[in-house]
Amino acid sequence: MLGNFSYCNPTKLYFGDESLNNLNAELPEYGPNVVLIYGGGSIKRHGIYDDIVEILKKNGKHVAEISGVLPNPTVDKLREGVDIARKHRADLLLAVGGGSVCDYAKALSVSVNCEEDPWQKYYVRCEEPDCETLPVGCVLTMVGTGSEMNACAVITNPHTHQKFGHTFADPKIMPRFSILNPKYTLTLPRYQMAAGIYDIFSHICEQYFSGEDDNTSDYISEGLLRSVVHASRIANQDPQNYEARSNLMWAATWALNTLVSRGKSTDWMVHKLGHAVGAYTNATHGMTLAAVTLPYYRHILPFGLQKFRRFAVTVWGVSTEGKTDVQIAEEGMAALENWMRELGLVMNISDLGASEDMLEGIADGTVITTGGYKVLTREEILEILRESL
Ligand code: NZQ
Ligand code: ZN
């Protein structure tokens, strides 16, 4: 652990199949006006909405709703929510859904009292809020992003084909509490379950494939990666397996609550590529990552050879006898590919709606990070995108 760092995570978690009851304990902490935020309707179909509205009523809350926060929430939807939250004089933003709904609530939290345009301020200029922010609580129904315990909010601007995340510096932007009931995730369509599993895996890899020093964070990452692979195989065979789904839920939270990045640089290039693809296609986040991963990792493997070798051995159990480091590392990539195919992930960006004529624009929208094993040039980005087609 050669770096200097701080670690603070104030989000309170309630986990388990009875965790929603804890909403009763949290609500009295906030004023009477709650804005309930949710997506396209899955919470109504599966009874979660009714349970939550009953608890809100029992606690005497005045409720306004923002519904229809769809996957990859847009800046237009954010502006609409600002008006609703202002009119309602919101005391608490309660997000019920997946990463899109949780991210949206955080973006709203910093926008309600902001005089400037939130897209320009937070996503183009990447500034921190200088206005009063609103507290956010989450009830999570989709597993993957880790949004339930971090300060990041990803917003898409469909007019400019840009999808950017902002990780706010102030821990107050993190959800004050998050309720994690693995049972809620049992109704996810298989496609979303697989996308979420790959999102978890990718978050850990983004923080693992960097640095040279011996770092406890990497050992924690390896344990999490093994747990995700193990649980995903069970869930893939038997999606109703509560134990596997609960392990995935817990792993997702720890994969992106900043724990495993302590004392390290991080890469995040798979996400930057995935977000740029998403900005053009509106595709499911986890699938955009899957579709660019292998061309990217095979491209940077020679620059981070020892880490890719270690990944092969510790995560995939590749034997080392009689093999060169390159052979071992490449076997690790092959094991990763087999597992991705087993889960039914989308392996090409063309299957997500991307086409050759979009590649220049996608490359323009790809933010280049510098914390991984190779700082890419624009030409390399285009090459990786072409290989991902
Ligand atoms: O909208 P509804 O009807 O609720 O349906 C949703 C949505 O269509 C459905 N769903 C959610 N829970 C369900 C359910 N269907 C049945 N049963 C349930 N229990 O699932 C679909 C996807 O939901 P969404 O919230 O979009 O998925 P996810 O959690 O993957 O969130 C994706 C967004 O998060 C961002 C992504 O870029 C994307 O915008 N990310 C946020 C991060 C963060 N805050 O740290 C990091 C990630 O890397 C990611 O970029
Ligand atoms: Zn992600």
Residue 292 Cα, ligand 2 centroid: separation in angstroms?
13
Closest ligand relative to 144 C-alpha: 1
Cβ within 8 Å of residue 383, ≥6 positions away: 299
Q: 33-38 and 62-66: which strand pairing?
A: parallel
Closest ligand relative to 150 C-alpha: 1
* The residue type at 99: G
- Edge-to-edge strand list for the sheet holding 177-180: 12-15, 177-180, 136-140, 92-97, 33-38, 62-66
Residue 198 Cα, ligand 2 centroid: separation in angstroms?
8
Nearest CA to ligand 1 atom 7: 71
Quick one: which of 179, 16, 31, 190 has its CA closest to 102? 179
Residue 21 Cα, ligand 1 centroid: separation in angstroms?
23
Are 109 and 138 a contacting pair, CB within 8 Å?
A: no
Q: Residue holding tokens 């973006």?
A: 107
d(CA 180, CA 212): 35
Q: What pLDDT, on a 0 to 100 scale, did the predictor assign at position 1?
A: 79
Closest ligand relative to 195 C-alpha: 1
Q: What pLDDT, on a 0 to 100 scale, did the predictor assign at position 379?
A: 98
Q: What pLDDT, on a 0 to 100 scale, did the predictor assign at position 42?
A: 97
For ligand 1, whether the C-beta of 185 sits within 6 Å is yes
For ligand 1, whether the C-beta of 257 sits within 6 Å is no
Closest ligand relative to 283 C-alpha: 1
- Atom number of ligand 1 nearest to Cα 203: 48
Alpha-carbon 271 to chain mean position? 9
For ligand 1, whether the C-beta of 101 sits within 6 Å is yes
Residue 318 Cα, ligand 2 centroid: separation in angstroms?
26
d(CA 104, CA 97): 10
Residue 33 Cα, ligand 2 centroid: separation in angstroms?
32
Q: What pLDDT, on a 0 to 100 scale, did the predictor assign at position 20?
A: 98
* DSSP-assigned letters across all residues of 261-302: GTTS----HHHHHHHHHHHHH---HHHHHHHHHHHHHHHHGG
Residue of 285, 288, 293, 366 with the most ligand 1 atoms within 8 Å of its CB, for mutation: 285
Q: What pLDDT, on a 0 to 100 scale, did the predictor assign at position 298?
A: 98
- 47 half-sphere exposure, CB direction, 13 A CA radius: 6
Are 162 and 156 a contacting pair, CB within 8 Å?
A: yes
d(CA 103, CA 278): 16
Q: What pLDDT, on a 0 to 100 scale, did the predictor assign at position 2?
A: 79
User: Which CB contacts under 8 angstroms, 24+ apart, belong to 224-232?
Assistant: 224/251, 224/254, 224/255, 224/260, 225/201, 225/315, 226/314, 226/315, 227/251, 228/197, 228/200, 228/201, 228/204, 228/255, 229/201, 229/315, 229/339, 232/197, 232/201, 232/339, 232/343
Taking the whole predicted model, whether its pTM rises above 0.75 is answered as yes
CA distances in angstroms from 268 to 47, 56, 169, 204, 274, listed in the order given: 36, 38, 18, 10, 10
Phi/psi zone of residue 73: left (φ > 0), alpha (ψ -120 to 50 degrees), beta?
A: beta
Cβ within 8 Å of residue 4, ≥6 positions away: none
Are 180 and 253 a contacting pair, CB within 8 Å?
A: yes
Residue of 42, 72, 179, 266 with the most ligand 1 atoms within 8 Å of its CB, for mutation: 42
Q: What pLDDT, on a 0 to 100 scale, did the predictor assign at position 321?
A: 97
Q: What is the dihedral of CA 157, 163, 167, 173, to 10 degrees?
A: 40
Tens-binned pLDDT, residue by residue, of the chain (389 aa): 778 888 999 999 999 999 999 999 999 999 999 999 999 999 999 999 999 999 999 999 999 999 999 999 999 999 999 999 999 999 999 999 999 999 999 999 999 999 999 999 999 999 999 999 999 999 999 999 999 999 999 999 999 999 999 999 999 999 999 999 999 999 999 999 999 999 999 999 999 999 999 999 999 999 999 999 999 999 999 999 999 999 999 999 999 999 999 999 999 999 999 999 999 999 999 999 999 999 999 999 999 999 999 999 999 999 999 999 999 999 999 999 999 999 999 999 999 999 999 999 999 999 999 999 999 999 999 999 999 99
- Atom number of ligand 1 nearest to Cα 143: 29
Q: Provide the 10 A C-beta neighbour count for residue 238.
A: 12
For ligand 1, whether the C-beta of 182 sits within 6 Å is no
Which regions of the chain does DSSP assign to beta strands (E)? 12-15, 33-38, 62-66, 92-97, 136-140, 152-157, 162-167, 177-180
Q: What pLDDT, on a 0 to 100 scale, did the predictor assign at position 3?
A: 80
